[in-house]
Structure 1
Amino acid sequence: MTTTQSLLDLSDFAWQRLRDRLGGLTDEEYFWEPFDGCWTVRATDDGFVADWDRIPPEPPPFTTLAWRVAHIVDVLQAERTATWFGQEPAADDGTPPVPGSVADAIDALDHAYAVWRRRLAALTQDDLDRPMGAIAGPYAEDNGADFALHILDELIHHGAEVGTVRDFYHGTHPDNRFTGKLTPGERPALLAEAAAARHWELIPELADQGFDLNAKTTSGRTAAHLAAGTGNLEILRFLVERGADLSITDGQFQADVLGWAKWFQQTEAIKYLETL
């Protein structure tokens, strides 16, 4: 395997983890400011801008999800992720935007990652080994691999911050995903989400309402995977009796439901599934 491929694999892994963590994000959460003085994204007459100071306070302000997402977009799509590698930006690469909504943020992130990945994939071993030169300013003596690893570090650690802020938000707000009158058309993966949140008591009710037994969470797990992996034999039996597809593979291990029971060493679930 080449060094470039190893970098691509790490990049794709970090990207998919971030992308999965954004599932179900709302505009309210996107702009949530848990403290006074947060840096965020603000509306102006000319669109949205992110708070910034060339010499940030110490310690720097807490930043909202909107700010963090805008920063990741900027890091990945910036002109320097082409020019510092000796490339020219493509005509349709565009300028990194400052997204003012979740929908715009997802579109911007997808585009920014596609731009970054294409630039990274084009690197040869010579590109990675060669000092970047004057265009990189104070980093002129650093080579392409140093810079690629820096961008990946930005993606990884800011992606982790996004996940932490989301955990913080959900830890301080009631879990209302499963309240109200939702229909399968409005929230098709709700049954899988209930299993992921360990709201097992809701599974029969949601099944009766017509929610898809085989729907997956954003990380690619069905309710049957989760029941088998946690050893919840009662719910696993219920899902099987209702016709759940046990051959579906998940997005993490590419394993079917029996594979999950085996991976997590759920003896009773294994015995039950092997009798089917």
Structure 2
Amino acid sequence: MRLKSELLDLSDTAWQRLRTRVEGLTDEEYLWEPAPYCWTVRAAGDGTWRADGSPLPPEPAPLTTIAWRLSHLIDLLSGERNATWLGVTPAAAPGREGAPGTAAEALERLDQAYALFRGHVDAADEAALPEPMGPIAGAYAEHTRAAFILHEVDELIHHGAEVGVLRDLYQATRPREPFVAACLGDDLQEVKSLLAADPGLRDAHPAMLGQAAAAGSWRVVRLLADAGFEVDPADGVPAIHSAAGAGELEVVRLLVERGADLSVRDPRFSETPLGWARYFRQDEVAGYLESVSAPAGPPA
């Protein structure tokens, strides 16, 4: 049977997606309320924090903050029922009172909660997963242990997606620097004007060429490459990967001429520019890259 390993693989995939999405979370973003009357976590006045809630879920459900969602996930993943309903002896959970009041504490407790949940699932008897949970699960007595695990993973996926949307909304509502806005908006004339007025923008925005490529601002990508912007930024997807995947052969040629590293692998899929061209079936770009690429080593 492979049921347990498949459930763990699904859970790990959902977990890694969420954990990646909350990297760099700040306290301001963590507690940001995008609309009035949000549910969030609040200082209780005794040194602890408490998550908003009510005995009966209100209709319609209130909008919740990232803080509330992460706090809810921490409670969900560290709940003792994740062990007892699966017929497993509960592992000791970290003794913390209330909700996390800061982003750093939330991420630390989220890591601990997921490790606890995963450990309980991993300890479950695989042969018993298709069996009903029985009286210990109350109203869910007839549900199987596998179905319960899927329910918990569904909660992880659901709330993780909500957190991702809130992060996107927060970033989209922050004021952008004029240079960044012009680059991402493919406003070629404005980019030229701003660079002429302040050549220091190149050093201030070392990853801008890659960001412009990710946005599909190809005219700006050409301008920035000619202006000496870094073609292989330390962070993010390199511009040549985006150009290869989009089939922008002339941009790919230009980036190669500017010294783009054809062996570098992107941070998410660990693929080379040639790998992106092949995956997206950009045959002309792939043929060109094959002609100029050195053999790449295995992924790290």
The verdict on a shared fold, with TM-score over 0.5 as the criterion, is: yes
2:170 is matched with which residue?
A: 169
1:238-257 pair list within 5 angstroms: 238-250=254-266, 253-257=269-273
1:20 is matched with which residue?
A: 20
Structure 2 counterpart of 1:230, from 246, 254, 276? 246
Normalised TM-score (structure 1): 0.82
The 3 A distance-change label for structure 1 pair 165 and 251 is: same
State the identity as a percent.
Answer: 51
- Deviations along 1:159-194, one digit per CA (max 9) or x if unpaired, are 11112222333333334595898999x998666455
1:6 is matched with which residue?
A: 6
- Deviations along 1:139-176, one digit per CA (max 9) or x if unpaired, are 12222112101101101111111122223333333345
1-structure distance, mates of 2:155, 2:53: 17
2:137 is matched with which residue?
A: 136
**1:64 positional shift:** 0.8
2-structure distance, mates of 1:189, 1:142: 50
Q: Which runs of 5+ in 2 are unaligned?
A: 182-197, 293-300
Q: Which runs of 5+ in 1 are unaligned?
A: none
1:55 is matched with which residue?
A: 56
CA contact (8 A) 2:74 2:109 kept: yes
Report the AA paired with residue 146 of structure 1.
Answer: A
**1:55 positional shift:** 0.8
1-structure distance, mates of 2:61, 2:250: 50
Q: Which has the higher contact order (CA 8 A, sep 6+)?
A: 1
2-structure distance, mates of 1:94, 1:191: 47
Normalised TM-score (structure 2): 0.76
Report the AA paired with residue 263 of structure 2.
Answer: S
- Deviations along 1:20-63, one digit per CA (max 9) or x if unpaired, are 22244332222221221110111222321110111122112110
1-structure distance, mates of 2:80, 2:18: 22
The 3 A distance-change label for structure 1 pair 97 and 248 is: farther
Q: Does 1:196 find its partner at 2:214?
A: yes
May I ask how many residue pairs the two structures share in their alignment? Answer: 271
The 3 A distance-change label for structure 1 pair 136 and 183 is: farther
SS in 2 for 1:275: helix
1:271 is matched with which residue?
A: 287
1-structure distance, mates of 2:97, 2:202: 37
Say what the alpha-carbon RMSD is for the aligned residues: 3.3
**1:127 positional shift:** 3.1
